[in-house]
Structure 1
Amino acid sequence: MSPTSPTQPSAPPLAELYRDHNGWLLGWLRRQVGCGHAAADIAHDTFVCVLEKPRAMDGVKEPRAWLVTIARRLVFANWRRQDLERAWVAELAALPEAVAPSEEERAIVVETLFAIDRLLDGLSDKARRAFLLSQLDGLTYAEIAAELGVSVSRVRQYMTQALTRCYAAL
């Protein structure tokens, strides 16, 4: 019996999407990230994103372009995550060994950094920087304004944007 036989049900849209495009997406990702394992992880995560929002598939005319858009966002998120990890490792290297955090504390801090990064994703660079300078470095709005080359009222706007995201996440 052929797969298109009227007596055999067709594959669900996600299964069909996966069957038709996973191999192609995996190859595209391998070229982008240069690592087969990372490409496989991102391809998997791409289809998990699709699975989490099945209605998003409705009306997709170009499935490969749509999958690339999702995958590209995940690649960028992966790069941001790696940048955060490198920055954290550099900070740890500067600490005396006696005050270095345990492996468990390191893992908690890294996950917290990723959560903050996801939370601030979508803010402008200056808004993100204003929030971090305020919350992590303890700078006043006037000091942040001088650092960023903007007015104090603009810093207030940036902080409102960032804090609104924080409250929405709660």
Structure 2
Amino acid sequence: MTIAIIIILILSGNAKYGLNYIMMSSANGDMALTTIELETPYTPAEVASLADYCHSPTDQAATISSGSFRTDGMIIIPCSMKTLAGVRAGYAEGLVGRAADVVLKEGRKLVLVPREMPLSTIHLENMLALSRMGVAIVPPMPAFYNLPQTVDDIIQHIVARVLDQFGLEHTRARRWQGLRQAANFSQENG
């Protein structure tokens, strides 16, 4: 079974989260290109080559802007509070907002990976409202039970949690197997 997921990679910070996932969105202007070059070992062309399809963020006629283009859902990773607020309000200017609006109106899965902290009351209220609409809010919080050795280990675990939202099989992260297995793992890898 093929699963079609729209991946919106907002390249304004924490680009590594999105680069560890399949992309269907290309770089967003000069600042995004600079972010790719500064925060990752990839060039903008290499990032675009990871995607099955790339759309301009201003292309309101892109396939993903229509409910008749069938997908299983959408992930915005990382998701700024500005984008999150726009999704909550149904502000569909630009392809990101339009595609999110389509996913919601079609009753498909929407996953947002917020990137900012600390959170204000407005941020929390926006996330609560979206959660009540069925949107999955997956903050990129590190887990330590798996004894990560590198920042990439932490990122892989977070990306694995995003994959879990769509029921996608992966081997990117070690799953919790109970206290006994955790103690054994700790002794073997400590």
Q: Give the TM bin, normalised by the shorter chain.
A: under 0.3
TM-score by length of 1: 0.25
TM-score by length of 2: 0.23
Bigger-Rg structure (1/2): 1
Greater relative contact order (CA < 8 Å, ≥ 6 in sequence) = 2
- Structure (1 or 2) with the greater helix fraction: 1
